[in-house]
Structure 1
Amino acid sequence: MMDVIEKELSQDRRAFIKKVLGGTIAGSLLLVIPAGAMDLSAIPEQIPGMRADKGTFISKKRRFAFIVDITRCIGCGSCCVADKNEYQVPDGMYRTWVERYIIDDHDNVFVDSPNGGLDGYQEPRKDIENPVRDTFFVPKLCNMCEHPSCVQVCPVGATYQTDDGFVLIDTKRCVACGYCVQACPYSVRFINPETKTADKCTWCYHRVRKGLLPACVNVCPVQARKFGDLNDKESEVYKILHQPHVVSVLKPDMGNKPALHYVGLRREVV
């Protein structure tokens, strides 16, 4: 019976991923536009009041947070596809990726992320000898730390933190020394082979500044990704973080104080 169920799930995921790659998912991928490709202000505002903010950066009155619900993620890879489309990320590089955690009945933990989860997880692993007890997926992206290690080590000030809490990269100043890549405790940075500069997830700052949600949030079919203003008590992220969920951050002992929170974070996740 379990084999039949797994086969059906695999077929469903495969069909969904084909639709994502083909751009036929209505109402979601339509809101994923490569950076600079069009006037984002032409799209209806998704974050209330953002377009009323004036100035280069977002108002200090806002405090954004990102939430990933591991209990919802199905590992379809649509977030990775959206990110690659939005930023034209080079092959083999990932601003966001999805890891698969597999636990067998001997409590052995296996972690993989083939092609960053970009193609989804359509096939089960065949190299695990013992019966599988549990499988779950964990999306990874920039943690947008309050105390970012990458900013501290950048020798030319190319990696900086804005007044509104976003950690960004000035590609005109970056010398690709790689110090920030090494300093990040979450391994979310890389040297882009095309731009010859450091690169990472920015929580789609250019979209947020225009009142739009990050691309990956828009396309998630199961709403495993949430984004919003913690200073807005009506926002979904505020409500989630003030409800009795098991909400955690990665590597809290590092002292970086991430603004990326996980619902249902498991002890096996690193």
Structure 2
Amino acid sequence: MLHFLPHALRGVLSALLLALNTLICCWPLFGVALLKLLLPFPAAQRALRFAMHAIAETWIDVNKFWMNQAGATRWDVQGMEGLDMRHSYLVTSNHQSWVDILVLQYLLNRRMPLLKFFLKQELIWVPVIGLCWWALEFPFMKRYSKEYLAKHPEKRGQDLATTRRACARYKSNPVSVFNFLEGTRLTPHKHAQQQSPFRHLLKPKAGGIAFVLDAMGEQLDGLVNVTIHYPGSAPGFWDLLCGRLEQVVVRFDKLAIPAEFIGKNYDQDEAYRLSFQQWVNQLWQAKDTQLDELRRQYPG
């Protein structure tokens, strides 16, 4: 509908619709979250979580609407068969742009339980949306460097404790726990700085999903491994708002989680840690090869 407008004007209108959508949806979300604090009973908590998820799914539906109006994206998607709203999943993906998040929400909304992202603790202070993430029980993680932990060993294991608390809340409702294994967006500088052994990926950080498997592995129906490719180059968020997201290629691969990786302590069991890291590296090597094939098939 907006395709006849200049790209910059589409971007402004899309940004206004996103902001308005967020402001409208946040108030009922905060109201339900307050009610959940006042009614600490399991049945009430479960029902109110469903209500909050429905509000978030409506927010995503509206975002899908303005994305469709702003541009004419060609979607090439395979592998979504077998996903449903009844089961819980662990989900991961390669990470190139902030657009990745809206792409995943666009494709997965109402096809599987609401994605719950691992977020840096500082993001809770983002105006409005930070409180929305808190109300929706997204896990906020505080990362410590190895140097800091050497000086403050009492902080070791706090990420696992945070993950356990978050996952304990997820046991009453189906959930999709999402983690970008690379931990940050791919850039040429980061790739060179890491001396990454992969051509199109940063090194994966296995600890985050290992903590999830420790806390709620028995509840998960599988690992959904997502590969995203943007022919040409990765778009920025402004490109998405302006309708310049021309084509997105996405491949989903639902994998069984090996039984030996469930309920183990990643921090304290060195043999398990090495075995799990090898498994994750094999997944990443396969993803790197898949991205090679997608780049040849969809050069842009």
Please say whether Structure 1 and Structure 2 have the same fold, judged by a TM-score greater than 0.5. Answer: no
User: What's the TM-score bracket when you normalise by the shorter of the two chains?
Assistant: under 0.3
Structure label with greater radius of gyration: 2
Q: Which has the higher strand share?
A: 1
TM-score by length of 2: 0.25
- Answer 1 or 2: which has greater helix percent: 2
